[in-house]
Amino acid sequence: DAGVTQSPTHLIKTRGQHVTLRCSPISGHKSVSWYQQVLGQGPQFIFQYYEKEERGRGNFPDRFSARQFPNYSSELNVNALLLGDSALYLCASSFGQGDQPQHFGDGTRLSIL
C-alpha cells in the first residue's frame, strides 16, 4: 500500500511569492496534519483537518492556510513568503482523530531566496 505522498519534493521560491503544497494520505485515512520542520529542529504543528474541517491550528500567521478535499487529500498554502519560511513541510495522516498514530510523508523541501 502507498504511504503518505507529498508533492513537489523540492521547491524554490522568492520572497513575496505564494506556494501550494499537496498531500495524499494513506488509503482509508481521513485525517491530515501539516508540520513545519526547520533545519536542526523538531517539527512544529501547523494544521489538522478531519472530514474536511479544520480541527486544530498551531501558532502560525494567517499567511498559512490549508484545506482538505472530499477524497481526503490536502493542500497547504503559504502567501507572502518570507526567508524564514524555508523549511521541510511534512504531511501526516491518521485513520481518525483522538489518540491515533500519525504517519508521515517524506516532505516538501521549500527554499526561499
Partner 1 sequence: GNSVTQMEGPVTLSEEAFLTINCTYTATGYPSLFWYVQYPGEGLQLLLKATKADDKGSNKGFEATYRKETTSFHLEKGSVQVSDSAVYFCALTRILTGGGNKLTFGTGTQLKVEL
Do residues 36 and 112 lie in contact, with contact meaning Cβ atoms separated by under 8 Å?
no
Tell me the window of 13-21, 68-76, 79-87, 102-110 that interacts with partner 1 (CB under 8 A): 102-110
Cβ-based nearer residue to partner 1, 86 or 102: 102
Query: CB neighbours of 47 closer than 8 A, spacing ≥ 6?
Result: 33, 34, 54, 56, 57, 58, 64, 66, 76
Cβ-based nearer residue to partner 1, 25 or 107: 107
Tell me the window of 11-19, 67-75, 76-84, 103-111 that interacts with partner 1 (CB under 8 A): 103-111
Q: Which of residues 21-80 bind partner 1 (CB under 8 A)?
A: 31, 33, 35, 40-45, 48, 50, 53-56, 58
Closest residue by Cα to residue 50 from 26, 37, 27, 67: 67
The beta-strand segments (E) located in the chain are: 5-7, 10-13, 19-24, 31-37, 44-50, 53-57, 64-68, 74-78, 87-94, 103-104, 108-112
Using CB under 8 A as the binding rule, whether residue 81 contacts partner 1 is answered as no
Cβ-based nearer residue to partner 1, 3 or 75: 3
Which residues of this chain interact with partner 1, rule CB under 8 A?
A: 4, 31, 33, 35, 40-45, 48, 50, 53-56, 58, 90, 92, 97-107
